[in-house]
A = this chain, B = another copy of it.
Amino acid sequence: MKVFVTGCAGFIGSNLVDRLIAEGFEVIGLDNLSTGQIKFLGKAFKSGRFQFFEGDLLDASFLKEKMAGCHLVFHLAANADVRFGTEHPGRDLEQNTIATFNVLESMRSNNIQKIVFSSTGSVYGDTSVIPTPETAPFPLQTSLYAASKLACEGMISAYCEGFGFQSWVFRFVSILGERYTHGHVFDFYKKLQKDPSRLHILGDGQQRKSYLYIQDCIDAVMVAIQNSNDKVNIYNLGVDGHCKVNDSVKWICEELNLSPKLEYGGGKRGWIGDNPFIHLDTKKIESLGWQPKHSIHEGIQKTVRFLRENEWVFGRRS
C-alpha cells in the first residue's frame, strides 16, 4: 500500500516514515524543510521504498499532483511553534488551517479518503478535568496554535460526514526522543551549552507537563489505525502521569552532569497561551492494547543523549 506523509522530514514524521517502511508500506513524503531535516530521512532513502518531494502545502497543485495514487495520508506538517503564536498571528492559520484544507481537497480530488492527523492536547485549553479525556467539556482555546489544530480537526470531521472520509486524529502531549529538534529539552540544552553555570526557566518551574517517547507514540498511531474503524477516531496520546518542569530540569542536568544556578521567569504559565497543567486521560488508546514502554524520565534521558550525539541540529536554528 502506498501512503503519503506530510512533514516527513520532521521529528515525528521521519520516525513514522521509518516505521511505515519497516512495516512494508511504500511511502511518498513531502516536506518544505522549514524545520524538517533531510538527514533524518537517510534510512528511508536507503530502503528503496521512499520517494521525497520538497514542497509546501500552500502550493495546492503541487500537493495534488504528488499525492496521486496514494491510499492513506498521514498529515503531520504544521507550524509547531506554539509559543510564538502572538508574534505572527497568521502563521497558524496559514500553515495549519489552510494547509490542512489543501490536504483535504487534494485527497478529495485524488479520491483518497483516509487521513491520520496529528492534533494536540493543547486543544483542551485550561480544562478543569484532569486527567483530560477525549470527551472533556467543550474547552476554551488559549493559543492560536491549538485553535488552528481544532479548526483542522473540525474540517477533517466535516469531510468525514460530508465526503465519506475516515479519520484518525491524535491529540498528543509533547513528544520526546531521537530527532527531537524543538521544545523545552532543546531550549534548556542549548542554553546550558552556551552557559553551563546558569539556567533560565520560563514560568515558576511548577508547570506540570506530560511527555511521550517517540517510539511509544508511533506504536500508538499504528495500533489505533489497525484496530479502530469509526468514521472519526480520536485518541489522546500521552503517558498516564506527569512531571514538573523542575523534574525535567533536574533530569536534564543529571544526564549532562551539570549543576547550573536556576533562575525563574516567574508566573504560572511559561508563556502566553501555555497550559500550566497537561495530563491527558489515555484510557481510550490503552483499551486497544497499547501501553507506553518508556517513562517520562527515560524519554528525557533519550532526548538529551540524542542531542549530545547530534549537536549539528543546533547549527541551523537561531
A binding-site residues for B, Cβ under 8 Å = 85-86, 89-90, 93, 97-98, 101, 104-105, 108, 124-125, 134-144, 146-148, 150-151, 153-155, 157-159, 161-163, 232, 234, 272-273
Contact = CB atoms under 8 A, between A and B. Distances in A.
B141 A138 contact: no
Given A105-B90, A137-B136, A151-B150, A142 B157 contact: yes
A86 B136 contact: no
Contact of A155 (B98, B144, B157): B144
Contacts of A150: 150-151, 154
Identify which of A139, A142, A157 gathers the most chain B CB atoms within 10 Å of its CB.
A157
A162 B143 CA distance: 7
Given A134-B138, A146-B154, A147-B154, A93 B86 contact: no
A137 B140 contact: no
Nearest to A149: B154
Interface of chain A, main secondary structure: helix
17 contacts: A85-B158, A89-B101, A89-B104, A89-B162, A90-B101, A93-B98, A93-B155, A98-B98, A134-B138, A137-B138, A141-B157, A141-B158, A143-B158, A144-B155, A144-B162, A146-B158, A148-B154
Given A98-B98, A147-B158, 18 more contacts: A86-B162, A89-B159, A90-B105, A97-B97, A125-B157, A137-B138, A140-B234, A141-B157, A142-B157, A144-B159, A146-B154, A146-B158, A147-B151, A147-B157, A150-B154, A151-B151, A151-B155, A161-B273
B138 A157 contact: no
Contacts of A147: 151, 154-155, 157-158
A89 B154 CA distance: 13
Nearest to A124: B138
B90 A161 contact: no
Nearest to A143: B158
Contacts of A139: 138
A312 to B, nearest CB: 34
Nearest to A90: B101
Given A97-B151, A150-B151, A158 B142 contact: yes
A273 to B, nearest CB: 5
Contact of A151 (B104, B140, B142, B154): B154
B138 A138 contact: yes
A125 B162 CA distance: 13
A153 B155 CA distance: 14
Contact of A136 (B104, B105, B138, B159): B138
A122 to B, nearest CB: 10
B161 A272 contact: yes
Nearest to A144: B158
A153 B146 CA distance: 12
